[in-house]
A = this chain, B = another copy of it.
Amino acid sequence: MDWGTSNLRAWGISRDGGISFSRSSDRGMGKLAREDYPGVLSGLLDEEVSGVSEVVICGMAGARQGWLEAPYLDAPADLAGLIFSAVAPDMPGSQLQPRILPGVCQKASGTEDVMRGEETQLLGLSALRPGFSGLVIMPGTHSKWALLDGTKIDRFTTAMTGELFEVLKTHSVLRHSLQGDLDGPERSEGFAAGLAIGIEHPERLTATLFKVRAGSLLSGRTAPWCAGFLSGLLIGAEVGGQKDWLVGGEVPLIGGTGLCNLYVQALARVGAIGRIIDATEATIAGLKTARKAQA
């Protein structure tokens, strides 16, 4: 299962590798105290529990402020042995045997970074695309860029792109230009305009962001256009500012389809081809692969 900050999702994996059930809940780490976890887990697996004992967990449940800290592996690291660094939290009076997989960190000064959950998707990718070597991008609230070689993660970095979009939209002066329904047809036109500027001038982001506001004041840009423009500026700056990470070949994009499609457009502008891989599929493949390693 994937126990994140906001949500959690669990899948039953049968002996032949098939998915026998799936469950989800909004009882993410952000809403839980340490002592809440056992109850949430047994509640979630309630009906299925007779057939389940082993529970492999990735994500924020292993954070310091989660259920039980699963100390980070330090990159470069081989993800093939993730399960051997898992921690086993107490589950009193239950037949469930949960284990939490570690995240990965990068400690070298100036490159400090952390991930929890994405390492399992990367391990999944190594199973879905055997022998893959190169850059993988995982768009999201905190986009991860990782250089992967088989099951080895060489280095990675995090861009706060999704979160920047949300806090600017909600809390900054730009919110005045982003009121109401943001999904009109002009959103894609605004995205293309923002993307061009973001990719060409990632170094000017602190200034180009203000063009969202100025564009609506002076040129009567609509809210959907402004939302697309802001999204384009940010994704463009993320991709344009890190294009030296591109190593040739197709770039797997692990995430939701809508967001990943925006990254496909961004990558095309720097001469790269993005291939979307469903995030859930990558997570399940990673959990299976992690568990298999102990056999």
Contact = CB atoms under 8 A, between A and B. Distances in A.
Contact of A210 (B142, B203, B205, B207): B142
A113 B219 CA distance: 10
A160 interface: yes
Contact of A206 (B211, B214, B237): B237
A110 interface: yes
Nearest to A113: B214
Nearest to A163: B172
A115 to B, nearest CB: 10
Interface string A187-223: 0000000000100011111110111011101110000
Nearest to A142: B210
A120 interface: no
Contact of A241 (B114, B163, B205): B205
Given A112-B215, A206-B241, A217-B114, A173 B168 contact: no
A126 interface: no
A238 B110 CA distance: 20
A71 to B, nearest CB: 11
A159 interface: yes
A160 B143 CA distance: 22
B160 A209 contact: yes
Nearest to A145: B207
A24 interface: no
Contact of A107 (B107, B218, B238): B218
Contacts of A158: 207, 210, 214
B167 A203 contact: no
| Protomer copies | 2
A164 B211 contact: no
Nearest to A158: B210
B164 A214 contact: no
A158 B203 CA distance: 14
Nearest to A211: B112
B159 A163 contact: no
A164 B215 contact: no
Given A105-B218, A112-B219, A173-B142, A207 B167 contact: no
A204 B206 CA distance: 11
A167 B172 CA distance: 7
Nearest to A109: B219
B242 A114 contact: no
Contacts of A106: 214
19 contacts: A105-B218, A109-B219, A112-B214, A112-B217, A114-B217, A145-B207, A158-B214, A160-B172, A160-B173, A160-B210, A163-B172, A163-B173, A167-B172, A201-B241, A202-B205, A203-B240, A205-B206, A205-B237, A206-B234
